[in-house]
Amino acid sequence: MNREQKEQSVEELKGLFSSASAGVLVDYQGLSANDLVELRKKLNETQSSMKVLKNTLARIAVKDTPYAELQAQFVRARAMVFSDNPVEQAKVLTEYADEHENLKIHAGLLSDSGRISVLNLDQLQALAKLPSKEELLVQLLFLMQASTTQFVRTLNEVPAKFVRTLAAIAQSKE
């Protein structure tokens, strides 16, 4: 790789580090090529992408980006998984790591409006257990619908009770 290609690679990495709102650093050493292709397919289904890092170039590209806090972990055979949907990304990676012991999750990073959170393995697993955005919306709509349904039942109960009282009085006079 000549200097021009390295500069182009650094700029590409810098763009990824600057724009992605979520990233997970993984060690893929020991995975077969077929396993990596399968992992990439699963990640692509969740709009995530995996980039194998050249550590020296990644350390240069990460400066002045939210991912600078992960710079010390750019060693050995590492890849960064970028996404704008951190929950789905974490689900895919933790499930795949459970199935393939050679995939090791080292750290994650969430970046939102200038706030940066570095996540360890336990925090990433907790993130993976969260329901997806669509599931949360369905739960919210169900809760909203349930409260209005209960309100309508309560309003309907007053005239219904009145009618039952009248019916009981009419029945007692017969």
Count the residues in the chain: 174
| 102-to-28, 32, 159, 163, 167 alpha-carbon distances in Å | 6, 9, 67, 71, 74
pLDDT per residue, tens digit, the chain (174 aa), is 788 888 888 888 888 888 888 889 999 888 899 999 999 999 999 888 898 888 888 888 888 887 888 888 888 878 999 888 888 889 999 999 999 988 999 888 888 777 888 888 888 888 888 887 788 889 888 888 887 888 888 888 888 888 888 888 888 887
| 105-to-108, 151, 168 alpha-carbon distances in Å | 8, 48, 70
CB-count exposure of residue 145 (10 Å: 0-12, 13-18, 19+) = exposed
What DSSP string runs through 31-57? Answer: --HHHHHHHHHHHHHTTEEEEE--HHH
Cα 171 to chain centroid distance, Å, stands at 63
In whole angstroms, give the CA distance from residue 163 to residue 152.
17
Measured at the alpha carbon of residue 23, what is the angle toward residues 19 and 87, in degrees to the nearest 5? 110
Q: Which residue is listed with tokens 């009282």?
A: 165
- Per-residue confidence (pLDDT) for residue 37, from 0 to 100: 92
Give pLDDT tens digits for 101-149: 889 998 888 887 778 888 888 888 888 888 877 888 898 888 888 878 8
